[in-house]
Amino acid sequence: MQRLVVAALAAAALSLSACAPAATSHGEAAAQVAIDRPPLSELAPVADPRSLEGPSTAVLADAAVEPVLTDPTQSLPVTVTSHDLTGDVEVTVSDTARIIAMDLSGSLAATVWGLGLGDHLVGRDVSTTFPGAADLPVVTGNGHTVNAESIIGLAPTLVITDGSIGPVDVVQQLRDVGITVVFVERSASFDGAADLARTVGEVLGVPGAGEQLAQRITSEVDETRAQIAALAPEAASERLRMVFLYLRGTAGVYYLFGSESGADQLIAALGGVDVAGELGWSGMQPLTDEAMVAADPDLILVMTGGIESVGGVDGLLADKPAIALTAAGQHRRFVDMADGQILSFGPRSAGVLDALARAVYVPDPAS
C-alpha cells in the first residue's frame, strides 16, 4: 500500500514540477565542503524552541556519500524481481559496468555510491547532486521527466529506478533497445532507506555490501534520533507543531505533505508533532486557507528551491495571508533544505536529520 502512495505522490510531484525550473542543486552546492561542527550531544537545548525567531537553512555537514567498501566483489549474473507497475517480472542482471540509477529524490544513485560502485554510474537525475556524481550527464529533462534519448546515448548496461520518474512506459521501453531495466520498491522512510540498500545490493550482486550499508544507515539514524531527543522538549505539549509544504511558485503550486509522504518520518524523528497526521491528512493535500489555519504550525519545513520560487518567506506570507496568521508565520519560522536532500532517505539520512535538528533547535544554524 505504501508503495502505491509514494508512487502517487511522486507522479503528482512530477506534474507539479514540470512547470518549474529543473531542481539542480538549490543550495546543495554550498554544502559540498565538509563543515566542522560539534556533535548534537554537545549542544545546549533551547528552553523553549517556540521562542526562536526567523527562518533557518539546514546544511549537511558533509554532502558526500561515504561508501561502505571501496571495491566490493560482485557476484553476477543475478536474477531479481523487477516491480514494474504492470506487474512483477523476473530480470537477470549480468552487466553493471554502466549504471543509471534514477528516482525523484536521488536516493538510488546515492545508494549505488554508498555500496562502493559509484564509479559505475554514467548518468544522473537532477536530484543527484552529491560530490562525485554532480558532474555526470543529466538524463532527466524539465522537472523530472525521463529523456530516453539521453539515456540510450550513454549506452547503460543497467537502469535502476523506482517508478517515481517517467513516463514509466518510456522507461520500460528501454528494454526494447537491449537495456536491462529493474524497478525496485522504495518507501519514503528511514527503514525504507535500509531496505533499499539491501535491494540495490542484491541487484548489483553485492548483497554483503548491501547489508553493511543498511546496518550503517539504521545505526546512524538511531544514534542521531537519540541525540535529537535530548534537544527536543520532553513534554508533548511543548513540542513544535510542524508541517511540510511543497511549493512551486512559478506554477502556482502549494501542497501540504501528509502521512506516508516522508514528511511524517522527518517530523517524528525531529521530535515534533506531525500536524498533518494529527488532522488525518495523507499523501499530498492542496493548501487551503482553512487547512493552514486549522494546522496552525509552530514551524514549517520546505525545500530550498520551493521557498525561493515563491519569493522567499516575504513572498510566501504576502501571497498566502493565512500562513501569516499561524504561529510559524508570525515568527517567520521556516526551515528549508536542498531539494535533493530533505526527503532523500538514503545513505545520508542521519546527516539530513542532524542538519535539520540544528536548524530547528539551535539559534545559530552555523553552530
pLDDT tens-digit profile, the chain (367 residues): 344 344 444 444 433 443 433 333 343 444 456 788 899 989 887 889 999 999 999 999 999 999 999 999 999 999 999 999 889 999 999 999 999 999 988 999 999 999 999 999 999 999 899 999 999 999 987 667 898 999 999 999 999 999 988 888 889 889 999 999 999 998 999 999 999 999 999 999 999 999 999 999 999 999 999 999 999 999 989 999 999 999 988 878 899 998 888 999 999 999 999 999 888 888 888 999 999 999 999 999 999 999 999 999 999 999 999 999 999 999 999 999 998 899 999 999 999 999 999 999 998 644 4
Tell me what pLDDT residue 263 has: 95
The secondary structure of residue 63, as a DSSP letter, is: -
CA atoms within 13 A on the CB side of 282: 8
pTM assigned to the model: 0.90
Say if CB 248 and CB 255 are below 8 A apart: no
Please report the pLDDT score of residue 166 as a whole number.
87
Query: How far apart, in whole angstroms, are the C-alpha atoms of residue 5 and residue 130?
Result: 27
Residue found under cell 557476484: 75
Q: Is the dihedral of CA 318, 324, 330, 334 positive or negative?
A: negative
Closest CA to 287 of 306, 273, 272: 306
pLDDT score recorded for residue 157 = 98
Collapsed DSSP state (helix, strand, coil) of residue 342: helix
The predicted structure's pLDDT at residue 11? 40
In the chain, the DSSP E strands lie at 56-58, 78-84, 87-93, 99-102, 121-123, 158-161, 180-183, 241-248, 253-257, 273-274, 284-286, 299-303, 334-337
At residue 33, the pLDDT reads 63
Hey, where are the domains in the chain? 2-64+233-361, 78-215
CA distance 175 to 186: 21
Q: What is the pLDDT of residue 277?
A: 87
The rounded distance, in Å, linking the Cα atoms of 279 and 71 is: 48
CA 180/CA 159 separation, integer angstroms: 6
- How much is the pLDDT for 15? 39
* 98 DSSP assignment: S
Question: Within 13 Å, how many C-alpha atoms sit on residue 30's CB side?
Answer: 10
The count of C-alpha atoms lying within 13 angstroms of the C-alpha of 284, restricted to the half-sphere facing its C-beta, is 19
Question: What DSSP line would sit under 30-45, residue for residue?
Answer: GGSS------GGGSPP
What is the per-residue pLDDT for 364? 64
Give the span between the Cα atoms of 146 and 267, in whole angstroms.
31
The domains spanning 2-64+233-361 and 78-215 adopt the same CATH topology: yes
Q: Quick one: pLDDT at residue 330?
A: 97
Q: Which of 200, 208, 171 is nearest to 96 (CA)?
A: 200
Residues ≥6 apart with Cβ < 8 Å to 219: none
Is 276 in contact with 300 (CB distance < 8 Å)? no
Could you count the other beta carbons within 10 Å of the beta carbon of residue 234?
Answer: 10
- Kindly indicate whether the domain formed by 78-215 is annotated with CATH number 3.40.50.1980: yes
Cell digits for 336? 528549508
- Tell me the CATH number for domain 2-64+233-361: 3.40.50.1980
3-state secondary structure of 257: strand
Q: How deeply is 353 buried, as exposed, middle or buried, from its count of CB atoms within 10 A (0-12, 13-18, 19+)?
A: buried
The answer to whether residues 106 and 186 touch, using CB atoms and an 8 Å cutoff, is no
How many Cβ atoms sit within 10 Å of the Cβ of residue 235? 7
3 state DSSP class of 168 = helix
Distance CA 106, CA 345 (A): 9
